[in-house]
Structure 1
Amino acid sequence: MLAACKGGISNWRKATEKFNEHEKSTLHSDSSQRIAALGSTPINALLSDAAPKTQNTARNVLELMFRSVIFLGKKGIAFRGDNSRDGVLYELMLERTYNLPKEREWPLLWNNRGWYNGCKCHGTIFTDTRYVDKSMEIHTDFLGFYNAPDSTGETLFKCITDVFLRLNIPIERLKGYCFDGASNMSGRFSGVQARLKEVCPDSLFVHCANHSLDLVLQEVGREVSLVAETLNFVQGIATVIRESSKRKELYVYMFGCDDVVNILAICPTRWCVRTIAMKCVCSSYTELQKTLKILKDDKSVRGDARAKIGGLYKQCLKGRTLFGLLCCEALFEPCEAVAKNLQSNNASARGALECTNLLRERIVALRDDTVVQGIESKVSAADLKMPDARQHRASKTPARYRHTTEPEAHAMSTWRQEFFEAVDLLTAELKRRFDQDGMKIAAPRENVLIEAANSRGQQQTLELESLHLPQLISDVDRYRQDLQLKMLGDAIGDSPCHTVQDIATRVAKLHPQARGIFQDVEKLIKLCLCMPIAVASSERSFSTLRRLKTWLRSNMTQKRLTHLTLMHVHSNILDNVDVSALMRVFNSATPERKATFGRLPTWSSRRQQNGAFSANRWHKVGELPMYGELGG
């Protein structure tokens, strides 16, 4: 056929045969493909044009995904449901891409089954750290949850040291720690506090003030029968009324047009928040009597419940029950007021001891006949069953020693005796529980600073040797430290300082050169500020855990749980997070991600408007100041 192209076809009889033979040749196929390609776009050009569009769509979806995760993490909302397609994150992404057809078809919206894995967390502890920054402000930061294999003191100590190691913080800088009274935490020989004391001899341990107050009330409730019976009665009433909607409607009906007083159950763990439940029972005592009277004769109530209601009704008719309610209210109410103050982030050892002394004085003031007589008058006015004055006591003096037929003691005298017993026991337990070695050292440190700040122009002798200062502060010149304390009062102003926080605020406002004079005093101030008194802020992390680790997320891994909790607790930090920086970190992890999302922009509009925010915020937690506290 090549010859025909050069000289033409000479034998037309075989032209058709030659043409058919030429169509089967490789030369004809290649020529046909080249001619067809002349009028179309090359494939490499098509791929070059499609890749940027696909990567741009992928970047948009990735940014939507990051912002959706941030939103759900801040609000503590579950990411998924029973499966990967039945989750809030999936539905939120579909909703956000409703008017974006290309983004809606992106595989990330449906191929997310591999994001989740099922590893249950059986035992969890948490770590919070408290530190003071250069501006003399106290920070209490949640660091994460730790999945401990068991709860022994040795294991928990290893978990704590591992946290310090991961954050690149020398554990020798630990100056104070606060735990509850469990033996594995507060044990003198093998507890966590004993092991930390071996590593950090200069550190102080404080038994949580709120837990100590709870233990005081728990001891009173266990030893005094009047208090125990009253608490059981309040809990029984709440259980009977609240467990049935029919009974609750009957109870509400008894109020008529008046405001309904809701019955509250007693908190099973926190003894300092039971006053409200007692007040509710006292204020609705008459309505409760009517409700129980109707329910005890109601045949529709099952037998065991009706028997319990009958017992509560008989107990409700007795004056001793109302007397116990009023007595417990008088005992628990001041304790609850003190407990709220001990939960403050600015709580100090000196303030805790002063609150305890005020509480003890208030409790001692209740040991008065006029107080008991006032309670007895309220009980008598309630028209309840009072003890018979003619009834003799069960255990009588032998007849040969008695020369009268009058009763040896009125039953109401027994009530007074039990109330005074509760008062004495509460006073003694307050003194015992708050007589701690850590408190005895931390409070005098604060007293030295406050006395020095308030002694303007006065010469005072400050005894620093009794403060047991750590090695870091003890190495400074004693004369120089004493001189700085004497100059402190003249530098911070005329208004008196009541707390170390007041002193820290005024020192932070000094000129940098003037502030440099008090370098050693600043160390002592930071040492006092970072000392923990209660673990209330740490226990709020467990409240967060209760909201986050629901039935929908029971199979969440420990790593995912910690990350989600960090987002939820530190939601204020998420408001300033540079999403573009996070996307760049995510994109640079693997070559596949780089090919999928392409090159991400270096600067975002948020960074240009609000200033830069480091994407490695959580990688710099190790740069905490030297003064720290661990709560758990």
Structure 2
Amino acid sequence: MDKFLTKRPRSNESSVKDDNATTSSSPKRARVEFDSNNLVADPGLRMPIEKYDGNIKDEKKYGNQYRCFNPSWFDSFPWLEYSAEKDSAFCLWCYLFKPTTYGLQSGRDVFSKLGYNNWKNVISTFRDHEGNVTSIHNFAADKLELFKNPRQNVTQKISQHSSEMEVAYRVRLTAILDIVQFLLRQGLAFQGHDESSSSKNKGNFLELLYWYGARVDKIAKTLKANAPGNNQMTAPKIQKDLVHSCAEKVRSLIIEDIGDRIFSLMVDKARDISVKEQMAIVLRYVDSRGQVIERFLCVEHVTDTSSHTLKEAIDNLFAKYGLPLSRLRGQGYDGASNMRGEFNGLKSLILKDNPYARYVHCFAHQLQLIVVGLAKKMSIINDFFSYVIKIVNLVEASCKRKDALRQSQHENIVTRIEKGVISTGRGCNQETSLARPGGTRWGSHYYTILRLQMMWPAVMDVVGNVHDDGTNPDQQGVALGLIDRMERFEFVFILFLMKKVLGITNGLLQALQEKNQNIVNALDMVEGVKFKLQSLRDDGWDELLANVSKFCVENDIEMPNNMEERLLVRGRPRCEKQATTYLHYYRVEVFYSVLDMIMQDMNSHFSESTIELLSCISCLDPKQSFSRFDAVKLVHIVELYPEDFSKLDRMALVDQLEMYIYDMGKNVDFSSQGSIGELAIKLVETEKNLRYPLVYRLIELALVLPISTASVERVISAMNIIKTDLRNKMEDDFFTDSLVCDIEKDIFNEIDNEDILQYFQNMRTHRIQLAPLDHSSNKSGSSVSM
């Protein structure tokens, strides 16, 4: 402080002793000068700072005048800075951009390093510092302008890019983007057999680039003339950056559409073609129009399949895209132990963080478990399906046998048409073949049984030809065993029984695969399946036996003459001579046992106690003029979600439900709706969702809860299309970005090209920086049809 404060002599030599100290030699109060050496250590005894002169810290004495830094100088000199520590002025521009050597001014470091603190003739000094147009200060000012304008930075100045070159760069980059979009929409490879980042093979990308340029003269010129040799924009890194830009724009629109709405999480995992464990993530929510939307977000590569690893991957994903876990209201998995485990499963880990994320076991998977359990528990059904698979494998083993099967089926159809057994018409009697049953999709067994029954004579002919004309004894033995099995009454009986049972459950299985399916419709279909199975058990025996008998007569299959005849029990030694009647065996031990086991499993998996919340939600169903409406159950739902409904909301909901059901009941447009989904859309269209906000919030909860993981399974199927044997070196990021663009085509096709280009430009520094266009004139899909 002593550097710039001048001490004035005092009239008396005594120091300041109290707050009211004054000089003794003058009637006027003298200026109280500050002496840092005499500063009292005890802060309670110090003289208040306001007793000193207000400008004492900033003033300097020049002759008889005191001067200090004037803040008004900031308005006249935008480069000016002031250091209170040094009581000096500095130039920010010279500090940042002053070169080491620049003419005669190169050695003047007063305003850049030392600081200027002579407050006399300040204005003229500042003017002199600015100097003329060639001064060091103005050189630094030019550098500052280049720094503030990225499009005119140093690299741009050195490269001397003209405006024409920038236009050419935009045209070329847009052409590259169009090709990237085309390959993404078609799910095609970019670099042929090697999609790794180190690959130098351009593959499909380069071929399309030349084809594209050849079709458009303007782009052809750009490709040939205006692109520098090291700026062709065809490197795999550029391609992957553009793909990532496309995928991120798709994800951003999905996240923007979700907003602060509640949503559900659906997860499934599978191995891709390169034997990497991938976790597919799909979000389900209700949009602003009241429609149920399921959107694929990404696939995450997980090093192991433990529940903690899956939970960590989901947490990282939610944090990356700003999805709050507190808004999660539902979980849907396929029932794997690491997913639905009661203690350490993914379901339990999420419930610890958010107890309102209700778990719903995939309905379609539960239905498959019922059929699979039937095959495993009953040896006679398991034996039947094993022989069906052997028949399909034998008949479909070679092209020659497939051709023989088609020819035999064609001849049988012609013969039956000539006899008038079947009629002709458009779409009738189409050429077909046996459908191979899927290992994880038991619904496919239904179509295998249908085609086996329809093509029975042709199948018997092919199997017989294999036995008669085969050169391999092993195949002849297999064919003989299959003929013996197929000509048994028992095999035909199981064939018709499983056709009937799978026909009932297959309708529910197919309906559960729909994206717009909701809880109430699923519960209705489950109840319908239970009713049909019970009806089949009570009244279906006679019809089934009649159909089996008719089929056996038409195909010369031996059947019991009298159902009351005795039959030795299968699976027991003949010496024990345990026998029963044909009627008791096929009706009680087979027909009743199969149906009882299926209905027992249906009641176990879809019981009222396990789906209490879903049963309450069904009270919102508008069918039959809201016949299921129950205000007590709906209020119970509110009690399960205190996060969404406050205590005041619960009180208000009772009155709102009364007005709601009165309004809906008298309005035909609402009471005639077929599902809760249609009701939600109608409420939004008529803006009644604003009139009944609490009821609409209940409807959102009902629609958000997932009932099937069909959308996730579609993603897993698409994984095998995008990542094939030839593309098994794809990096994980490139793989998931390609999947997003392929699956969410409806969003991808609507993204403006300019948004993608700007995201691409901001990812890293490029040789040319494109300025945003004033208006969006280039929509996705480009002006040239691919």
TM-score between both structures, scaled by the size of structure 2: 0.65
1:435 aligns with 2:551: no
Partners of 2:318 and 2:299 in 1: CA distance: 14
1:444 aligns with 2:594: no
**1:312-368 deviation line (CA, Å, top 9, x unaligned):** 122122222221111110110111111111222232222222211211121122224
Alignment check: 8 A CA contact 2:329 2:705 kept: yes
**1:259-306 deviation line (CA, Å, top 9, x unaligned):** 544111111111123211101101111121121111112243x33333
The alpha-carbon deviation at position 538 of structure 1 amounts to: 1.7
For 2:370, the equivalent position in structure 1 comes to: 216
Partners of 1:315 and 1:330 in 2: CA distance: 21
Structure 2: which amino acid aligns with 1:527? L
1:386 aligns with 2:559: yes
Secondary structure of the equivalent of 2:294? strand
For 1:311, the equivalent position in structure 2 comes to: 481
For 2:206, the equivalent position in structure 1 comes to: 90
| Counterpart selection for 1:61 from 172, 194, 215 | 172
1:330 aligns with 2:500: yes
Structure 2: which amino acid aligns with 1:583? L
Partners of 2:694 and 2:473 in 1: CA distance: 73
| Counterpart selection for 2:449 from 278, 282, 293 | 278
Structure 1 residues 280 and 522: alpha-carbon distance in aligned structure 2, compared to 1, 3 A threshold: same
Secondary structure of the equivalent of 1:523? helix
Structure 1 residues 312 and 115: alpha-carbon distance in aligned structure 2, compared to 1, 3 A threshold: farther
| RMSD (CA atoms) | 3.4
**1:147-174 deviation line (CA, Å, top 9, x unaligned):** 1111111111222222221121221111
For 2:280, the equivalent position in structure 1 comes to: 126
Kindly indicate whether structure 1 or structure 2 has the higher relative contact order, using CA contacts under 8 Å at least 6 residues apart. Answer: 1
Alignment check: 8 A CA contact 1:174 1:203 kept: yes
For 1:295, the equivalent position in structure 2 comes to: 466
Which runs of no fewer than 5 residues in structure 2 stay unpaired? 1-157, 195-199, 241-272, 414-428
| Counterpart selection for 2:407 from 230, 253, 278 | 253
The alpha-carbon deviation at position 51 of structure 1 amounts to: 4.3
1:601-616 aligned at under 5 Å gives the runs: 601-606=773-778
| Counterpart selection for 2:186 from 69, 75, 80 | 75
1:103 aligns with 2:273: no
Structure 1 residues 409 and 591: alpha-carbon distance in aligned structure 2, compared to 1, 3 A threshold: closer
1:532-551 aligned at under 5 Å gives the runs: 532-551=706-725
Structure 1: which amino acid aligns with 2:443? C
For 2:738, the equivalent position in structure 1 comes to: 564
1:585 aligns with 2:735: no
Partners of 1:464 and 1:428 in 2: CA distance: 29
| Counterpart selection for 2:683 from 507, 512, 516 | 507
**1:91-137 deviation line (CA, Å, top 9, x unaligned):** 100111125155047446586255589x9671100111011123322
For 1:144, the equivalent position in structure 2 comes to: 298
Structure 1: which amino acid aligns with 2:523? L
Partners of 2:324 and 2:159 in 1: CA distance: 53
Partners of 1:516 and 1:429 in 2: CA distance: 43
1:242 aligns with 2:396: yes
1:158 aligns with 2:312: yes
Q: Which has the higher helix share?
A: 1
Partners of 2:737 and 2:602 in 1: CA distance: 40
Query: What count of residue pairs does the alignment treat as equivalent?
Result: 552
Structure 1 residues 82 and 465: alpha-carbon distance in aligned structure 2, compared to 1, 3 A threshold: closer
Q: Which moved more, 1:47-56 or 1:431-440?
A: 47-56
Secondary structure of the equivalent of 2:469? coil
| Counterpart selection for 2:653 from 459, 481, 494 | 481
Alignment check: 8 A CA contact 1:334 1:359 kept: yes
Partners of 1:224 and 1:455 in 2: CA distance: 41
Structure 1 residues 437 and 550: alpha-carbon distance in aligned structure 2, compared to 1, 3 A threshold: farther
Partners of 1:174 and 1:566 in 2: CA distance: 22
Alignment check: 8 A CA contact 2:187 2:722 kept: yes
Alignment check: 8 A CA contact 2:750 2:779 kept: no
Structure 1 residues 515 and 433: alpha-carbon distance in aligned structure 2, compared to 1, 3 A threshold: closer
Partners of 1:316 and 1:310 in 2: CA distance: 10
Alignment check: 8 A CA contact 1:327 1:419 kept: yes
Structure 1 residues 273 and 252: alpha-carbon distance in aligned structure 2, compared to 1, 3 A threshold: closer
Partners of 1:116 and 1:134 in 2: CA distance: 35
The alpha-carbon deviation at position 556 of structure 1 amounts to: 0.8
Partners of 1:167 and 1:48 in 2: CA distance: 38
Partners of 1:540 and 1:418 in 2: CA distance: 36
Identity %, equivalent residues: 21
Alignment check: 8 A CA contact 1:93 1:109 kept: no
**1:222-263 deviation line (CA, Å, top 9, x unaligned):** 122332222222211211111211111222232344354411
Alignment check: 8 A CA contact 2:608 2:615 kept: no
Partners of 2:572 and 2:477 in 1: CA distance: 37
Structure 2: which amino acid aligns with 1:298? D
Which runs of no fewer than 5 residues in structure 1 stay unpaired? 1-46, 611-632
For 1:206, the equivalent position in structure 2 comes to: 360
Partners of 2:771 and 2:690 in 1: CA distance: 48
Structure 1 residues 94 and 227: alpha-carbon distance in aligned structure 2, compared to 1, 3 A threshold: same
Partners of 2:501 and 2:572 in 1: CA distance: 33
Alignment check: 8 A CA contact 1:453 1:503 kept: no
Partners of 1:443 and 1:323 in 2: CA distance: 38
